[in-house]
Amino acid sequence: MSEPQSPAPGRLVVAAAIVDDLTRPTRLLAARRSEPPELAGGWEFPGGKVEPGEQPLEALHRELREELGIAVDVGPELPGPYDGRWALGPGLSMRLWLVLIIDGEPAPLEDHDELRWLGPGEWASVPWLPADVEVVDALIARSPSARV
């Protein structure tokens, strides 16, 4: 099968599908953005932009510590259709990994005003940011344990 034509990868955003189990996940942690105004109220995978000179996984650990106050073990990546990345908007694309919390209780410290554990059958039940809808669908498709 041929690769879809780009949107250019653009700046890399790294994000986490925080789950309760890396092989048979049943719960997924969604975060509601509080800013900027045009994105506020939309639900997303916690994460953020990779800074110059930073490795992607280094950025992921930093963002999760800053935004939620947690340390994680990183599991498998959910590769997107654009050279492994998911298209976000103009000039941005995302890599996403399943992760498990190993330290800390997640709290909306930065950029979010609510966190919610979504149980089986609920993973698509919040209004995800538009670009995340296909990502959530792909996550559900690879996680039979997420379905009721």
Ligand X SMILES: Nc1nc2c([nH]c(=O)n2[C@H]2C[C@H](O)[C@@H](COP(=O)(O)OP(=O)(O)OP(=O)(O)O)O2)c(=O)[nH]1
Residues that bind ligand X (CB under 6 A): 13, 15, 39, 44-45, 47-49, 88, 92, 94, 111, 129, 131-132
Nearest distance from residue 2's CB to ligand X, in Å? 25
Residue 88 CB contacts under 8 Å (≥ 6 apart), including other chains: 13, 94, 131
Q: Least separation, in Å, of the C-beta of 44 and ligand X?
A: 3
Q: Read off the tokens for 29.
A: 């942690």
Measure the CA–CA gap between 14 and 16, rounded to whole angstroms.
Answer: 7
Whole-number minimum distance, CB 15 to ligand X, in Å? 4
- Looking at the DSSP bridge assignments, the partners of residue 79 are none
Closer to ligand X by Cβ: residue 2 or 118: 118
Rounded distance between C-alpha atoms, residue 99 and residue 21, angstroms:
8
3-class DSSP state for residue 141? Answer: helix
Residue of minimal Cβ distance to ligand X: 48
Helix (H) and strand (E) counts in the chain: 2, 8
* C-beta closer to ligand X: residue 2 or 134: 134
Nearer to ligand X, 41 or 148 (CB): 41
Nearest to ligand X of 104, 130 (CB atom) = 130
Residue 59: CB minimum distance to ligand X, A? 8
